[in-house]
Structure 1
Amino acid sequence: MIRLLLVDDHPVVRTGYQHLLEQDGDMTVVAQAGSVDEAYAHFVAHEPDITITDVALPGSSGLDLIHRLRERSAQARTLVFSMHDSEMLVHRAFELGALGFVSKSCAPDSLIEAVHSALASRRYLSPGLPQHWLHSAARAPAFAQLTPREFEVFRLLSRGESPAECARVLHLSPKTISNLQSQIKEKLGTGTSAAMAHLAISHGLIPPGNT
């Protein structure tokens, strides 16, 4: 039996795809979570075979969850299941160690296929998304310079969160956030918060009008 952890901030969505996955007969959902911290605690407690997470979560994102799980265990298998499916996000998820990226607009069977692929430690990209994204390195060179922590701080700041809120969400000191903010601006060549937001929007990291 494949043991799954589902992470999405909408309980109805979690219930829906729990039903879908468990219908397959060889999967069981051992825990559900609506935030990164809750998901991390369940991962530690239940040690699921695969964690399926959305990108957009309250506070810290699913990308940060992938990073935290991989830091805890190099064998952690994760899938992203999200309506946000830009090339930048797909590439970043794979870079952080995700084994699959499934768009919420795809056929339900794709999520089941992704689980079996992840169990075999094979990468999976749902039909409808350009399959060359699995192998491309088309990420903007500037983003390649950001560490996973810097990327998460960038994402939070670009969507309008204050440095103090970033510190709270990521469990870091305000001084650390301030230092990271300076490093990010230098690496990306963005002198203002508006410039950071524009860059994030242009690469599909946040939707227009999010800030």
Structure 2
Amino acid sequence: MIRVLVADDQALVRAGVRMLLQAAGDMEVVAEAEDGAEAVRQAAAHTPDVILMDLRMPRVDGLEAIRRVLAARPAARIVVLTTFADDANVYAALRRGALGFLVKDDEPEHMVEAVRRAARGEQLLAPSVLRRVVERALDAEDRTTPLAFAHLTEREIEVLALVGTGLSNAEIAEELHVGVTTVKTHVGAAMEKLGLRNRTQAAVVAHRAGLVGADFRPVARGR
């Protein structure tokens, strides 16, 4: 059973999401929050598998709540709920560690599937969206801090480059002619060594390190 926390300042939205997810049969909404401060408290109290987080909430907004939740539990899987996909705050949330985002008026089955994918730790961003996230992240960040790749294996670097192109684990497995479980192992090891929370951050690092070109194709397969 996938345990979900729903954080949104609108009671009607929370009720609708609860009804939708619990009807799926493999999910349970274990807590709700109407502002960011309550979301942080409920996340600590219930340690949900997935957190659905609105960004525009009173007292403490979603961006700050994401920062606090991930500071306390870096492995938390957070999906942003938003009204507008092009909201600049969405990209800020993704850079801070959110797995992806859902537009509130999207198809209901998309939310259900997104929660399942988030629970598995999968990337929720289409390649076109990932491209915008990477571009904005690279424009905003300080690139003077060196990246420590010496402790990554050649295969981990190769897999990291493919993550940077936006490929899923299954697509990487097909590209490298290995099993999906093997890919998951390499992705997890690379992220752990680099101190990354999710695949979006891994993609940004891959681009920053020059493993992926501006055309979103890998330019390096090893050291």
TM-score (norm 2): 0.59
Q: 1:153-185 CA deviation, whole Å, 9 max, x = no partner? A: xxxxxxxxxxxxxxxxxxxxxxxxxxxxxxxxx
Q: CA contact under 8 A between 1:9 and 1:58: conserved in structure 2?
A: yes
SS at match of 2:85: coil
1:178-193 aligned within 5 A: none
Is 2:42 aligned against 1:8? no
CA–CA distance in 2 between the matches of 1:142 and 1:132?
Answer: 17
| Residues 88 and 139 in structure 1, CA contact (< 8 A), matched pair in contact too | no
Q: CA deviation at 1:90?
A: 3.1
Deviation at 1:65, TM superposition (A): 1.1
Corresponding residue of 2:112: 112
State the identity %.
35
Structure 1, unaligned stretches of length 5 or more?
146-211
Match of residue 133, structure 1, among 94, 117, 129:
129
Conservation of the 8 A alpha-carbon contact between 2:5 and 2:32: yes
Please give the per-residue CA displacement for 1:47-91, whole angstroms capped at 9, x wherever unaligned.
111110111101322111111111001111101111032163332
AA aligned to 1:138 is E
Q: 1:54 to 1:87 in 2, by over 3 A?
A: closer
Hey, what's the Cα distance between the residues in 1 that align with 2:137 and 2:115?
A: 29
Q: C-alpha displacement at 1:40, in angstroms? A: 0.9
Corresponding position of 2:64: 64
**Counterparts of 1:69 and 1:95, CA distance in 2:** 14
Kindly tell me: are residues 140 and 69 of structure 1, through their superposed partners in 2, closer, same or farther at Cα, counting changes over 3 Å? closer
> Moved runs in structure 1, 4+ residues, more than 2 A?
87-91, 135-138, 140-145
Count of aligned pairs between the two proteins: 141
Contact 1:91–1:133, Cα closer than 8 Å, also in 2: no
Listed one character per residue, the Cα deviations across residues 91-144 of structure 1 (whole Å, up to 9, x for unaligned) are: 22221111120111211111111111111111213xxxx741224323287744
